[in-house]
Each structure stands twice: as C-alpha cells, then as structure tokens.
Structure 1
C-alpha cells in the first residue's frame, strides 16, 4: 500500500482475532482490464494506470502539475482513463486523468461539499461496465451515494440512507443495486440501495442482535461472502450464502485460521447456477507474513499459496476459467501480474492446507458449514455440494456453531441465483 492511498470505506472483518488489515491501495475494473494506484516518488505521490488485458501488463504514469496530497484516491474507468478524488477540508474535487504524449491530460468533473462534521467521502468499488463511478459520503446520521463520473453533468446526488453507512458491494451487472452496511440503533445490517429509484430495502439480518455485513458478491451466481457475529457472539466469523436462496448462511470452520486475519477480496465470475463452485480469493495476514488463500464453498478446505513478491496485497481478479490474477510491483518488475491457476472443484475432504511456515494443517469445517438443523423451526440445511454425511464430519468435542438463515429482501428476487 502506498503512503498516499486511503483506506477503503470499510475494512473487512477478519477471523482469528487478528488486527484489521489495510486496504490494497490498488483498484481494478470489474472486468479486470485496467488498474490504478498511487505510486510513491520521494516525498510525494502520483497516479499510475495499469493495462492488464494485453499480452503483457504495462503501466502508464499520470503525474499532475503538483504532488498529490494524502487522502487522494484513484480508480480506473472502463475506457482507460483514471478517476482521481482530491479531498481538501470539506470539499472533494473529482477529475479524469488520461495520457497525452509526454504529459497528463485532466478533465475536471466538479466537486462535492461535505460540511457536516464527521462526514467521510470515499470512492465506492469500481462499478460494473466501467462507465460510471460512485462515492459514499458517510456521516454520523446518514450516508449519501453520489455519482461522481459518467453522469450528464458533474457529481449527482442519488440516494440518502439513514444511519452510519460504510462498505459498498455491487449486486448486479448493471450498477443499479448497491449494498451498504448500515449502523442504526447500535447494530450493523446490510441494506440495498436502488440507485435508479433511490429506494432502500433490507438485505441481510441474521439475528436481531447480530452485526451482519456483506463483504463480496458475485452477480452471476449470487454467491455472497458475509461477516457476522451471529454464530459466535462478540467474534466476527466469515460465512457464505446465496442471494435469493432459502438455504441458511454457512460459517465454515476452515475459514477460521488461528491468529490470522482472513479477508476475501475476489470471487470467480461466470459460475451461473453453481455458486458452490465459485473460487474465492483470500488475503491471509499472520505472524508468518501475508499470503494467498483460495477456497470454494463446495470444498471444505482452504488452499494456502505463497503470494508473489511485491504483491499489492488484497488486490486481484478472477478469470471465468478459474485463474487468479494478482498484480505486483518490485524494483526489477514495476508492473507485473502473477497468474495462479487453481485446480477444478473437487469433492470435499474436510482437510485444509498448511499455512506457510505454520508447520501444521488447518482445521476442517465445523457443523455450521456442513449443515444440520438451521435456526428456522423444522428447517434443515445441507451445504450445497456436500457429499459426506454430516455426522461423520462434525468435531466430536469442539462445540459447533449453528447455521442461521439469510433474511430474504424484496430486491433479492431481482438477481439471478
């Protein structure tokens, strides 16, 4: 992460009790064609655009007329331009950068004023399609979603959500449905904002007293990566569910790596109707450093892989064919991409690979991931893709968290499962 990059709107919760990890400092378009980051140059920073969809990745520096200030954010657009967000006290200016021979062209887009104390405006993740960009102004009493690029004229206020808002996950392939984590009444739940109509609807509430957040979503399959303390009050757990499904949320035991922070950062697209086969990229931070994990809901283990040297930790994108592309930068290779080919989905075996240098194997999944009775009276919950009987795989001594249902929301039916 570069010194000038800001943290994401909401640092994803992690397992294992480790401290929160910083953001990647590198944004990638939804289709994986372009990336953008801030690069350190002495005591200052400048934007840099990476082209990733050619025969070889290459970087184009986009320095401005003056060094960028701390707090600046950049985001690639689908046409190769780079959106830059420059905060200055309560005013947030936006512009599009593009190469012009030896220099950098800049097209101002306007500014957003945030005079209310305690309000923080940050860019939301790159939107599907790459033609528009959005920002969230999160204040103590409400959050406002702005379209800051791709609109008819300058920044446009789209919707206001009561409560303290953070996060930001796209639920569809058109950039219409945005999920936000909203803190209201002392509890955090995920809501859906329809940016076309400005409507807000509930999406995720596992129990009334739990803090439930949406971390990632795949519009093709409907796979959701969730953080909640519902199965373990006071402790965040990683779980998964399917948008629009009646199956319960699962909290696999294999996603709990002792003394490590586990942060999902990418989901394999294109797995229509088979969300359990989607590969998920995990950033794992522990005493042995930072490495990469891959996991599928149908496989009850995490594969632990060494990260490439200079990995822009937490940044990456999956191809539809199951290749995880990880951007990295070293002195010898200032712009590189490492492709990790993950084996096809196999039958679950309950094991997990060993963390680098850990000298042991990870724990298998617990009953929350395997099924058993869910929190709905009379309900059952076999995990999608489960093969072996539940009773043979539950730990005989360790207590197992119970799966809990994903509350269905009206907007959930708009997304194909």
Structure 2
C-alpha cells in the first residue's frame, strides 16, 4: 500500500495466473524483500546456508546501502520481516507449534539491539501472517486465520505489546491498505466456503466490515493493490471466465465497470502487480503499474497504464529481488537487486516512450451483469449498482 509523499510500494500476498496458467505467491523468508510504505527502508533475510540474518536497506538517500542486523543465533529460513518507518525491523519468529514471538531489531553501535514485544498464539505457524507495512509507518499488523474467524493483531505500535484489534467472520487472506492513515484495510474473505469477496475493515470502529467488491454473486473477487491518491484498484477475478482468473482494474467510489484488459493476459506466464505510481491525484487511468511476470524462463517486469492498450515487457537487472520495487511520482520504477559485486543496488527503469492508445468504445461501456460478454478490453459490469464505493473511506462519527 502507498504511504508518504515520495514513493509507493505494495507487496502482493497472493496471486494467480489467468486462464489456467501457472500460479505464484510471494514466498516468505530468505529472498523476500519488503519495503516500507513511504519507500525509505526495506528488509530481507541475507546470508548463506543456515547462517541467515536480518538485513536492512536504506533507500531514500543518494545511494542505497545495507546494514546487517545479526544476532547470536541465526534466523530461521521463512521468518517474516517488516521494516518500520523509523528504521527498525519487526521479526516474527516461530516459538512452537502455536506461538509466534515478535521483536524489533535496530542497529546500535557495532551490534544489534533487540526489543522483545511479546507473542501471539495461532492454530498453526502458517495460519498467522504479517500484513503489508501500514501507511503510518509505526504500526504493524498480523492476520490469524481460524476455521471460521480471522483475527487481526496489532503486533507493533501498541502500548503493551501485541493486542487483538478485530475479529472478522470468515476465512480471510490478502491485505491492502485503502487510505494513508492505516485505518481502512481491505481483506479477501470467504464465508462458509462461499466465493471470495474483498471487504473493507475499519480498524477505528472495532473491525466493522463493509462490502468492497462484488462483480457477480458467484465470482471470486480479490483486491491486489490500491492507490489512495488516484483511487486506482488492481483486481483479480474469475467473473469474465468462471474458473479462470483475470487481472482487472477499477476506481474506488466509481460506478464504472471493472475492466479486464487483454494485454494483461499472457500465455504460460503469471502476471502479478506489485507497485503503482503515486501522486496521480484523481488520475487513475494515468497511473503507472509495475507487474511481475513469471514464466519457465524466469521473471521480468511489465509496465502498463490503464489508459494504454499495451503492456511493455522489460528486462530486469541481474539479482533482482523479484516482486519488489517502487515508483517515483515522476514515473521512474526503481528495482532493488543484489549480486556478489553489488550487494545492495537499486536500478531505475523508465517506461518506453509509447503514447497510450485509448480503449475502444465510450467510457464505462460494459455488458449486462452476468453475461460474460464484452468489448475487447473485457469490461464487466457489477451485479450490484454500487459495489466499490461502499467502503467507508471518509471520516465518520465514532460509534456510540
């Protein structure tokens, strides 16, 4: 989710290819690279073999640089990390089959300081996941998924260690911030084994849940990215082709249909958005979107704007930490990479100079609900008249 005024990045939690292609999900642990919402810091597990340690990157200076944060005992492969805006790194370690402990690491002179926050019990270690960095840069949240209920925990930023902040009925996944304050969180929820629908959770109202996205009654509709400046939403849904996921885009608060561009469909490759250009207030069609493309030959980057009918596919630097990157407001995509010669690098990619081609048909053209037919861009009307604007993204009076 976006945060700050200079840059933006979002780490996708889950993704799937369209039309029966390969699937991909962000692997936790060694190799995973998470960037703060304001783009200032990042963290990953570094090292080799079993000698793994936390490494913090500083990204907002003239040149990126890495600070190792080793402790006496190495970190386990798969340990989730989350950098904070003050430069500390949250670590969630597996304690036993039902507990995960949380600590904050920070550089202190020649060594590493550690502040132990506490522990959270979960049915299984894989049932508790860290959510993407909060846009306020201070708080960190984890999602614990049970058989019938999902629980949100504030694991950093509270007054007395980890504390439960909300319970959401159903099995939830994903996690996308919808505003710049860390109040509104979107989750992908399934109720009683039904289809997955994105919902908005208001953390200032005790986890009040409201519908966010429903394209058809039976479709699986997931929110992958959201940009609060422009309102652009990146969506994955099987509404156009039941059983086959497609990438689409919409605008928060708009009555226009979700559109599913054909240029985002690739044969034998998974396409996953991971960053949106910030600072494009009220201009969702002009936002640059960075997409990770995974195929048998490897991973590379796609660059696309909703106003264009074409996705540019670009080579990435050697050692790219795949799935990570951030945009500048000026439209430059910065990709982190690490090689033996350059252990901490940041490459800049600019979109090729190719003027966008308007989508065919009038703005908002689509099909009747549930027909599955449409224009070449796959416009698809929602089955309800007001799906996207139901999220309470404006200030509201406190509950009495």
TM range (shorter): 0.7 to 0.9
Match of 1:108 in 2: 116
The structure with higher relative contact order (CA 8 Å, sep 6+) is 2
In the alignment, the residues of structure 1 paired with residue 153 and residue 312 of structure 2 have an alpha-carbon distance, to the nearest angstrom, of: 39
Q: How does 1:94-173 map to 2 (within 5 A)?
A: 94-114=102-122, 116=123, 120-173=127-180
1:334 aligns with 2:327: no
In the alignment, the residues of structure 1 paired with residue 369 and residue 24 of structure 2 have an alpha-carbon distance, to the nearest angstrom, of: 35
Match of 1:410 in 2: 390
From 287, 293, 304, the counterpart of 2:296 = 287
After TM superposition, give the deviation of residue 179 of structure 1 in Å.
Answer: 0.3
Q: How does 1:324-363 map to 2 (within 5 A)?
A: 324-343=333-352, 346-348=355-357
TM-score by length of 1: 0.84
1:92 aligns with 2:85: no
Please say if residues 366 and 381 of structure 2, whose CA atoms lie closer than 8 Å, have aligned partners that are also in contact: no
Please say if residues 238 and 252 of structure 1, whose CA atoms lie closer than 8 Å, have aligned partners that are also in contact: yes
In the alignment, the residues of structure 2 paired with residue 266 and residue 241 of structure 1 have an alpha-carbon distance, to the nearest angstrom, of: 16
In the alignment, the residues of structure 2 paired with residue 219 and residue 372 of structure 1 have an alpha-carbon distance, to the nearest angstrom, of: 24
1:148-176 residue CA offsets vs partner (Å, 9 max, x unmatched): 11111111111111111110000000000
Gap runs ≥5 in structure 2: 1-10, 396-400
1:31-78 residue CA offsets vs partner (Å, 9 max, x unmatched): 111000011323231100000011110000101120112331111100
Match of 1:15 in 2: 18
In the alignment, the residues of structure 1 paired with residue 79 and residue 157 of structure 2 have an alpha-carbon distance, to the nearest angstrom, of: 20
Match of 1:301 in 2: 310
1:269 aligns with 2:278: yes
In the alignment, the residues of structure 2 paired with residue 118 and residue 211 of structure 1 have an alpha-carbon distance, to the nearest angstrom, of: 26
In the alignment, the residues of structure 2 paired with residue 373 and residue 223 of structure 1 have an alpha-carbon distance, to the nearest angstrom, of: 18
In the alignment, the residues of structure 2 paired with residue 145 and residue 220 of structure 1 have an alpha-carbon distance, to the nearest angstrom, of: 26
1:75-102 residue CA offsets vs partner (Å, 9 max, x unmatched): 1100111111112221111111001122
In the alignment, the residues of structure 2 paired with residue 401 and residue 250 of structure 1 have an alpha-carbon distance, to the nearest angstrom, of: 6
Distance 1:407 1:349, change over 3 A: closer
Distance 1:402 1:79, change over 3 A: closer
After TM superposition, give the deviation of residue 372 of structure 1 in Å.
Answer: 3.6
Match of 1:203 in 2: 212
Match of 1:238 in 2: 247
Q: How does 1:69-84 map to 2 (within 5 A)?
A: 69-84=76-91
Please say if residues 310 and 328 of structure 1, whose CA atoms lie closer than 8 Å, have aligned partners that are also in contact: yes
Q: Residue 172 of structure 1: SS of its match in structure 2?
A: coil
TM-score by length of 2: 0.88
Please say if residues 71 and 86 of structure 1, whose CA atoms lie closer than 8 Å, have aligned partners that are also in contact: no
1:51 aligns with 2:48: no
Give the number of equivalent residue pairs: 372
In the alignment, the residues of structure 1 paired with residue 79 and residue 366 of structure 2 have an alpha-carbon distance, to the nearest angstrom, of: 48
1:318 aligns with 2:298: no
After TM superposition, give the deviation of residue 16 of structure 1 in Å.
Answer: 4.8
In the alignment, the residues of structure 2 paired with residue 272 and residue 113 of structure 1 have an alpha-carbon distance, to the nearest angstrom, of: 41
Please say if residues 35 and 43 of structure 2, whose CA atoms lie closer than 8 Å, have aligned partners that are also in contact: yes
